[in-house]
Amino acid sequence: MSYIWTDKLIALGIPIFYFVFVRILLAGIILFLFNTAYARIKRIQRQDWPKFLLLAFFEPFIYFICETYGLKLTGSPTLSAMVIATIPIFSIGAGIIFFKEKVSFINIIGVLATLIGIVMVAMAKGELGENFIWGVVLLLIAVVSEVGHASITKSLSGNYSSQIIVMYQFLIGSVYLLPMFLWKGLDGFSIETHFSPEVWYPIICLAVLCSSLAFSLWVSTIKNLGVAKSSIFSALIPVAAAIIAWILGHELLNSRQWTGIIISSLGVILSQYTIKKR
């Protein structure tokens, strides 16, 4: 759903640094209030400060900027989704190298099947923007930053809860984004436009559902499944977006796309398959 709400804000002409900053700051405040209410606040240990600073730099700062501008420059949600869908390929290498995670041949087959299914779902005709090459470069940077984010999250998950990690991640990330917000985010600012319900409805949805809730669940997934296996679910973003668009009546799915959805789903199952030794 975040793609739909983000596209709506871009179509309204709202500066990217405006709604990204507000979204991240709101998410951080919501998680702070949640953790305070349940007495879960935990201070960052001195030795973990560099990790949290790097975590927030990877995501939300680098990832959200590169992903949003990459989507805008390519002029093709299809192409953008396909680049983002390569996250599992990079994450498997990171999981094996840094965390000694075990990935079987069946898991590799599952990843490949998922990517093939995604190609079938996302493949569509569309015009590319004039600066689509730079858009692809930005999207690849976003992919690398997500892998870095997942790796650092895994290293922190043993000492902090998911909500605490995401809370600090977004609060620190909002500090990173503040200069960009003051420099570019307030271009053409008007109270009537920037504080209208039409603008704040998608921003609140992005902050509450996509950032506070979804990111907390995502960190829990990385904590329990590891970097390599959890990353395959991020590759299903274009599949989920296609299904949601179909449900909302924004897009009609043909037989090829439904076949791709089935193949992607089977690929995810294979990617998570573990052979238990007696």
Residue 82's pLDDT is 66
Question: Does 59 reside within a domain?
Answer: yes
User: Quick check: is 256 in a domain?
Assistant: no
The verdict on residue 26 lying in a domain is: yes
Higher pLDDT, 106 or 197: 197
* Cβ partners under 8 Å of residue 176, min gap 6: 56, 57, 61
- Is residue 235 included in any domain, yes or no? no
Asked if the model's pLDDT at residue 278 lies above 60, the reply is: no
Q: Whole-angstrom Cα distance, residue 251 to residue 136?
A: 24
Domain presence at residue 110: no
pLDDT number for residue 17: 92
Is residue 264, in this structure, part of any structural domain at all? no
Top pLDDT among 10 and 130 is at 10
Q: Virtual CA dihedral for 66, 158, 27, 175, nearest 10 degrees? A: -60
Encode burial over 215-236: b for 16+ CB neighbours within 10 A, e otherwise: bbebbbbbbebbbbbbbbbbbb
More confident residue, 56 or 231: 56
Lowest mean pLDDT across 20-24, 222-226, 274-278 = 274-278
Higher confidence at residue 244 or residue 186? 186
d(CA 206, CA 156): 25
Tally of domains in the chain: 1
Contact indicator for 164, 35 with CB cutoff of 8 Å = yes
> Could you report how far apart the first and last alpha carbons of the chain are, in Å?
42
Closest CA to 251 of 13, 78, 32: 78
- Confidence band for 254, pLDDT divided at 50, 70 and 90: confident
The 3-state DSSP class for residue 44 equals coil
Average pLDDT for the chain:
84
Q: What mean pLDDT do residues 56-63 have?
A: 93
Of the ranges 207-211, 218-222, 238-242, which is most confident? 207-211
123-145 average pLDDT score? 73
Question: Quick check: is 260 in a domain?
Answer: no
Q: Is the pLDDT of residue 155 over 60?
A: yes
Q: Which two tokens stand for residue 44?
A: 């960052």
Residue 133's domain spans which residues?
A: 2-105+127-230
Rounded to 10 deg, the angle between the 77-84 and 132-156 helix axes is 30
User: Does the residue 193 lie in any domain?
Assistant: yes
The pTM of the full predicted model, rounded to 2 decimals, is 0.79
